[in-house]
Each structure stands twice: as C-alpha cells, then as structure tokens.
Structure 1
Amino acid sequence: MEIKIRQENKEDFESVFHLIEKAFEKEEYSDHKEQFLVERLRKSEAFIPELSIVAEVEDKVVGHILFTKLEIKNETQTFHSLALAPVSVLPEFQGKGIGSKLILYGHEKVKDLGYKSVILLGHQDYYPRFGYELCKKYNIKMPFDVPAENCMVIKLTENGLSGVSGEVVYPKAFFE
C-alpha cells in the first residue's frame, strides 16, 4: 500500500471533515466534535496551512493531522509552541502505520518552520514512541483538569524546551 503525505488543500476540506468524524465515532474519550474543531482552527490565527497534512491511498484521503499555534506562559515569559490536535485515520486504515507517518512527517515540517516543541493531549501508550514526554517533567501545565499521563510534549531540537515552563494557552478556537 503506497501512502502519499501532502499538505491539505481546500478541495480536501469536505473529505477531511467526514474522515475525522468517522475516525472518532467510536472513541470513548471524545466529544465527537473534532471535525468542527478543525473547521474552527482553519479560520483562526493559530492556523498554519503547511501544518494541515493529509495521507492518501490511491487518491483517497485516509488520514489527517493538524498542528496549530499555542503559547506557554509563566509570570515573566511567553514561549511559542504548537498543539497537535487531532490526528485522524479512517477506521479501515487504522493500524497500518498511517498515523505514525503523519506524525513523523509533521514533526519534520514543524522543525522546517522553526518551531521547537509540540504539545498534545493523547493516549499515554501511543505518543511516547515518537519521543513525547509528560508535560509535568518540564513544569508545563494544562489550563484545565486532565490526567497528567495524557498531557505530553516533545522537543524537536536539542534545547527545544530549555527554560520553558508555565501554563499552556490554547487558541480560543479550541473552546468555541
């Protein structure tokens, strides 16, 4: 199976909407509205077109990943980072490495654009394989109450989290 990874374009929006809807349909820890989140984020200042990425198999969009801007703030400093949310793969294509390819490709694009870290809320057993660590290790806190084991960050450069600590500030599109 050949998997093509590329930047999302406007012609993909409808298929990505349905893909995300199907990907999270049976997810226990989901509000089943991730597809609407992606629509809001595309219209926000946090959106970076190069970091909305799709996976295709035989010219069909089967996966999508989105990285958007966020900040980490403490009393004296503001640090720029990205949120990974969501990563979606059609159910019939899950378990075939598509999510992994999207994440790894996305990390390279993130580094190319000069970002040093990515934050996410996700499955504690899945994301560490890509180098994600617990946010609490870096004294990075979420702005809402979630289990610490699901709050993760990755540094994409050697000193990508050097001196970084504080509370994550998500773009308002996450909460609309």
Structure 2
Amino acid sequence: MSIKKLDWDSDFFNLEIGEVNLEKDNCVIDADAYDLVYVKSKNDSQLDIKGYQNTFTDQTLIYIKDLEKKENEIEIENIFPFDENKFPIEKLYELAYVGGSFSRFNLDTKFDKEKFKKLYRTWIDNSLNGKNADELLVYEENGELMGFVTYKIDNDIATYYLLAVLPQYQGKKIGIKLFEYVAQKMRNLNVKKLMIPTQRSNVGACYIYEKLGYTILEKKYIKHYWKI
C-alpha cells in the first residue's frame, strides 16, 4: 500500500513523515523512506511494519450538532475577540498548551515537547491571522484571561478547532459559555451545523459534548509508527 508524503509535517518536524489510510487488515506497507508513518483506519487494525514501532494509538472522533433556531437568546458576558493590546500573546500560547494536552503530538512521547509547543504557537498565530480560524474569542473576568475558543465556517458548517480553559478555572462552565456564544453567533449567520474534532482519550471533553447534544459523526483510529 502506498504512503502519501505529508510535506507540511515533514518540514515542520524536520522528518520524513507519511500517511496511510488503511482499508483492510494484513496490508503490506513499504515504509523504508520514512521516519514516521501515520496510519488511519476505521477499525483498530493491528499492523506489524518491519523496522517500525507503534508508539501511539487513539481514536479521532468528529462530533456534530444541528443548530436549532432559538427565539430568546441568552446574554453571555465576558467574551471578546482577542486583543493583543490587552493581553500578551504568550497568555494564549500557555492556554493552547493546556488545550493540546490530549493532542497526539503531546501524548506520543517520541515527539519533542518543544516541537509540540511550537506547533501550538504556530496554530495560534495562524488562527489570529485568519489561516486556521475565522475568529479567536477569549473569556475574561476581572482582567484575567481564563479561556479561549477558535472556529472556522465552511459553507453552512462551523468547526471548533481549539478550546482551552486554564486548569484553575475549569469547572466554572467557561467552555460551555464559549460554545454557546459561538452557537448563537452562528444561528444569526444561518450556519446549520456545528462540528468538534477530538480524541477518544479526552474523556472529559467527550462527556461534555454529549451532554450538550452532540453526536458522533465519524470515528477513525490513528496510529504512529516510528522507524526503529
């Protein structure tokens, strides 16, 4: 089975990185040209790629929810577009590391932690400049930045890409307030659906999404195979 080279990942991590979308078990994969291969599949397929070690396995979930019209919108305070004149961008970076704690680039210990942090700093920068997000919203109280969310609209679907709340403020429903604020905004823009990608290992987040009425649209396993 052929491997597709991932140019962006390869350049960013300074490695030869490829990806395979597996459609059946017992496939022969020739991976010699790669330092790392991502293997994606619908089933939890067990592969033995000669000369490679499986260091990470998780299940990517995509949650979806239909947006229903609400006659009376809820007033939600303390949420604003990020203003670099008010908060240093380093505050956002620290929040992004929290939000990325269940990322495969953090959970797979073969990845360098500094590279993980650089990856999330890059994601924040590209969210603020419009490449990765239409807007980055922050939640603040008494001059303290407590959480943020990013989203991007594609046709009539809005996708949340990053959400983070500082650990000391978790449990105050800040994440839910950010979600509901965006949902109300999307209704006014006639967006029909909301999507959230996450990992199965992020059990707490999955529990909250399901309580909020999101259902699973897609499940896919992802494994990392590093050259030994």
- Matches of 1:35 and 1:94 in 2, distance apart? 22
* 1:126 matched residue in structure 2: 208
* 2:179 matched residue in structure 1: 103
Match of 1:63 among 147, 168, 174: 147
Partner secondary structure for residue 125 of structure 1? helix
- Shift in Å, 1:84: 0.3
- Matches of 1:4 and 1:95 in 2, distance apart? 17
Question: After the TM superposition, which of the residue ranges 85-94 and 9-18 deviates more from structure 2?
Answer: 9-18
- Shift in Å, 1:30: 4.3
- Matches of 1:84 and 1:97 in 2, distance apart? 17
Higher helix share: 1
- Shift in Å, 1:45: 4.7
Contact 2:156-2:190 within 8 A present in 1 as well: no
* Residue identity opposite 2:210 in structure 1: P
Shift in alpha-carbon separation, 1:42–1:109, aligned structure 2, 3 A: same
Match of 2:217 among 130, 135, 141: 135
Matched, 1:47 2:133: yes
Segments of 5+ residues of structure 2 without an aligned counterpart are 1-76, 106-115, 199-204, 223-228
* Residue identity opposite 2:144 in structure 1: K
Shift in alpha-carbon separation, 1:130–1:35, aligned structure 2, 3 A: farther
Partner secondary structure for residue 126 of structure 1? helix
Matched, 1:34 2:116: no
- Shift in Å, 1:42: 2.6
* Residue identity opposite 2:129 in structure 1: K
- Shift in Å, 1:36: 2.5
- Matches of 1:10 and 1:146 in 2, distance apart? 38
* Residue identity opposite 2:214 in structure 1: Y
Contact 2:96-2:164 within 8 A present in 1 as well: yes
- Aligned-residue RMSD, C-alpha: 2.5
- TM-score w.r.t. the length of structure 2 is 0.48
- Matches of 2:169 and 2:159 in 1, distance apart? 24
Shift in alpha-carbon separation, 1:126–1:109, aligned structure 2, 3 A: same
- Shift in Å, 1:57: 1.9
- TM-score w.r.t. the length of structure 1 is 0.60
- Matches of 2:166 and 2:145 in 1, distance apart? 9
Partner secondary structure for residue 171 of structure 2? coil
**Deviations 1:89-115 (CA, angstroms, capped at 9, x unpaired):** 011111221111111111111222222
**Equivalenced residues, count:** 126
- Matches of 1:85 and 1:47 in 2, distance apart? 8
